[in-house]
Amino acid sequence: MQAYRDHHGIPHARAASVEGAFRAQGHIAALDRGLQMEYVRRKAMGTWSEVVGSRALTDDTFSRRVGLAAAARLSYEALSDQTKAVFTAYAEGVNEALPESLADCDLPEAPAPWEPWHSVAVYLGRHVGMGSMAHKLFRTALLPVAPAEVVWRVRANARDELVVVPTGAVHRVDAEGPPEGHGEKVRGWLNGLAEVETVAASADPAAGSNNWVVSGTHTASGRPLLAGDPHRPFETPGPYWQNHVSCDAFDAIGLSFPGVPGFPHFGHNAYVAWGITHGMADDQDLFVENLDRLERRTEVIKVRDADPVRITVHTSARGGVVVQDDSANTGLALRWTGIAEPDRTLDCLLPMLTTTSVAELDEVMRGWAVPVDHLMMADVHGAIGYRLRGRVPHRDEANSWAAVPGWEQQYAWRGWVPFDDMPAARDPEEGLLVSANNRPSADTAPYVAHDYAGPARATRILQLLREDVAAGRRLDRAAMERIHGDVTSLTARDFIASLEHVKAAEGSRRSQLLEILRAWDGTMGLGSIAATVYTEARRELLWTVPLPDSGDSHASLLTHQQRTGTLWLSFQSLLAGARAGDETIFGAWSEAVGQALDRTAERLDEEIGPDIEDWTWGRLHQCRFTALLPGVPAVAGRPLPGDNETVRAAGLHGIETTAASSGSVARYVFDLGDWESSGWVVPEQSEEWYAAKLVPMHFDWEVIERIGTPIALGTAADQHPESARAALR
């Protein structure tokens, strides 16, 4: 067995057997990301407080109440013998390296051996916060105390949404949302629920992703290009680990979750490439439960440098209670496709690596459950394809709006949407497919979700691709890099177009700001003054949205981040409504914008100074990484162009801060005409990442052996019990 590191420290491992390959992957993962693996394992099992103290209590409590560890054990037992052998080999590799990797880390005790089911726990823990719970909780909190028409409008969806398939089609969103009086129903079901503990693990509303695939008719090589970038909170270390694993059965490279074998979301083998964006599917429901009717137990969370904390865990037939108010005898149970029954998604990991065509990869996805993703595919034979992969439940329409009573059978789940009914496409005539968390299809059946990202990023990617195609340019990796780095905001352009009737006294501060905005093309560059004015005006406008204060009864169910993050991303939709004459949110638009610009001038004069030349976007929009692990410093922050709705995502919770706290945590381009022309980058490669450039993704073993530095792993990675070897055949 052989292993090397290339010039960027990326590992490439080659073994004779499948089990040897996964043992090597586990071994090197523990060498490179051992402390991170301990973190994600403990976070899934609710024991990270033992390492870092009380700051992890909220997350640990959530994981225990959801029951992630128990669900992971059940799901592991449901996996095939072949998959269990893969996870066993991976765990053995981890255990060869983990003690040494963590020897100098500040842990309260020696790390426990890595068990095969721990990888399932890590996988579930990575995705439980990406479901629809945040949207449901937002509406559950506000529908009882605010007009439904206001609550329903505060969503990221635009009125006219670009859909994934067919490419370029636009769907007009006409869904009315909850009927009149539904908020009263929710209030009654909640039975006074208000004084609750903070809910953890809801998805970061500023996150998202992009991906796109181009057929060989438009490329320099004559074969497809597949590109994209996953968006998550900016954290160090990042969620993805670059690596390459090969054996007699497959040769594959991609981005892995440390702690999970294979390449579930981004990668390629010798024949097929794949990449995903979050499908935004409605895969989680909240059920109102009477606590005195549920099973309950007490668990103790050990807390470093503090007394242990005892928590009560309530479990219903629909899931664990994640929000509870003992005085109201009421809680909200989370039902999620990943834990509703044993999940066999991970049975797909090995078959993905051995597929030889888009058609084969698509067929493997029949077994995929969580998460629901927009999967883009391409193969060396020239095919491209799209599939909304994953599992979506059938249930009552009311479940899609807010929490529903668990004791009424009307709201129970009734099976799954069939795989063949999920949106899909193969080799579209235009030769382009694009997704960016937007609506998958113009068809409203089957129901997939109400809440999608606005169409700005997807529309801009398609616009740039079509411009290149129309100009006759043959696309290559450099062209994909340019799209990765694009910082033009179509939402900002819509805002500029809305200023036509805004009036200002000649020579006034408002007049100055209007002149700056009207001359702007919507590019969120570091030196842009208009980008700052636009963002601050957007902030001022959103502060006026008539939502109840978080101290008002049920509205206190929301964390501050959930409230402000959802509101920030609703701007594209609210702007579209205002331009169409809807005065529900802002009143008379021209007057509202004028007043917002006045307040913007006051704020910037006070915070930066009266010289407008100092109001550059780079000054306000600084990248901010969070250090996750003790003793591991965060990637240093720098000014960052773009915002939430630009292709180069640099997300901000703009109501609170203009710092960039989420965005592209990896970028990749897979060139199916020449794998050596592919490229990728993660934030730890900071010079290239900040420059929106890629580093080489070496796949040719002759190149790797010539440039690589050997990794000493010994021969253990090719040794494995005969029983596991047989299961992998």
At 95-104, the pLDDT tens digits run 999 999 999 9
351-353-355-360 Cα dihedral, nearest 10 degrees: 60
d(CA 390, CA 86): 22
Residue of 725 and 79 predicted with greater confidence = 79
Mean pLDDT on 388-402: 97
DSSP string covering 585-634, please? TTSSHHHHHHHHHHHHHHHHHHHT-S-GGG--HHHH-BB-PEE-STT-PP
pLDDT at res. 714: 58
Angle CA(704)–CA(708)–CA(713) in degrees, nearest 5?
105
The proportion of the chain whose per-residue pLDDT surpasses 70, expressed as a percent, equals: 95
Cis peptide before 639 (omega within 30 of 0): no
Mean pLDDT of 129-142: 92
Phi, psi values for residue 385, rounded to 5°:
-160, 165
Cα–Cα distances in angstroms (integers) from residue 510 to residues 54, 88, 266, in the given order:
47, 65, 47
Judged by DSSP in three states, 654 sits in: coil
Q: Looking at per-residue confidence, does 720 or 46 come out higher?
A: 46
Lowest mean pLDDT among 191-200, 393-402, 409-418: 191-200
Mean pLDDT of 486-493: 98
The residues with which 375 forms a beta bridge, in sequence order, are 276, 387
- The answer to whether 585 and 578 have CB atoms below 8 angstroms apart is yes
pLDDT band at 720 (very low <50, low <70, confident <90, very high): very low
Give the C-alpha separation, 537 to 601, whole Å.
9
| 186-200, 280-294, 302-316, 322-336, range with the lowest pLDDT | 186-200
Residues β-bridged to residue 660: 623
Question: How buried is residue 365: exposed, middle or buried, by Cβ count under 10 Å (0-12/13-18/19+)?
Answer: buried
DSSP-derived secondary structure for 191-225: TT--S-PPP-----TT--EEEEEE-GGGBSSSS-E
Q: CB-based burial of residue 284 (10 Å sphere; 0-12 exposed, 13-18 middle, 19+ buried)? A: buried
Residue 18 pLDDT exceeds 60:
yes
Alpha carbon distances (Å) from 396 to 176, 400, 421, 688: 16, 8, 18, 48
Which of 624, 628, 627 lies closest to 37 in space, CA to CA?
A: 628
Pairing between strand 679-681 and 667-671?
A: antiparallel
pLDDT score for 554:
76
Confidence of residue 191 (pLDDT cuts 50, 70, 90): confident
Find, among 377, 374, 371, 323, the residue nearest to 345 by Cα: 371
- Give Cα 600 distance to the centre of its chain: 31
pLDDT per residue as tens digits for the range 328-357: 999 999 999 999 999 999 999 999 999 999
Range with the lowest mean pLDDT among 48-57, 265-274, 405-414, 651-660? 651-660
Partners of residue 171 on adjacent β-strands: 161
Domain ranges (residues) in the chain: 133-206+281-451, 490-620
pLDDT at 722 over 70: no
Using an 8 Å Cβ cutoff, are 385 and 424 in contact?
Answer: yes
Is 75 known to be catalytic?
Answer: no
pLDDT at 556 over 80: no
Q: From the CA atom positions of the chain, what is the Rg in Å?
A: 25
Query: Side chain identity at 62, as an amino acid letter?
Result: F
Average pLDDT rounded to a whole number, residues 286-309: 97
pLDDT digits (tens, 9 = 90+) for 39-91: 999 999 999 999 999 999 999 999 999 999 999 999 999 999 999 999 999 99
* pLDDT tens digit sequence for 504-520: 999 999 999 999 999 99
Average pLDDT, the chain: 93
**Separation CA 37–CA 51 (nearest Å):** 13
Q: What is the pLDDT of residue 724?
A: 30
pLDDT above 90: residue 167: yes
SS3 of residue 358 by DSSP? helix
Q: What span, in angstroms and rounded, lies between the C-alpha atoms of 598 and 324?
A: 43
Of 576, 569, 710, 719, whose CA–CA distance to 231 is shortest?
569
For residue 496 the two structure tokens come to: 């500029």
Whether the Cβ atoms of residue 684 and residue 238 lie closer than 8 Å to each other: yes
List C-alpha distances in Å: 19 to 4, 479, 669, 722. 19, 38, 28, 10
For the segment 682-700, what is each residue's pLDDT rounded down to a tens digit? 999 999 999 999 999 999 9
Phi-psi region of 553 (alpha: psi -120 to 50; beta: other; left: phi over 0): left
654: which residues sit within 8 A by CB, 6+ positions away?
535, 538, 539, 542, 568, 643
Low-confidence winner among 9-13, 172-176, 266-270, 383-387 (lowest mean pLDDT): 172-176
In 379-393, which positions are buried (b, 16+ CB within 10 angstroms) versus exposed (e)?
Answer: bbebbbbbbbbbbbb
Q: Is 441 left (phi over 0), alpha (psi -120 to 50) or beta?
A: beta
Higher pLDDT, 60 or 717: 60
Per-residue pLDDT tens over the stretch 208-224: 899 999 999 999 999 99
CATH topology of domain 490-620: 1.10.1400
DSSP assignment letter at 650: E
Write down the catalytic residue from 209, 489, 570, 677.
Answer: 209
Round to whole Å and give the CA distance between 431 and 425.
11
Please state, in angstroms and rounded to a whole number, the distance separating the CA atoms of residues 65 and 46.
9
pLDDT score at 27: 98
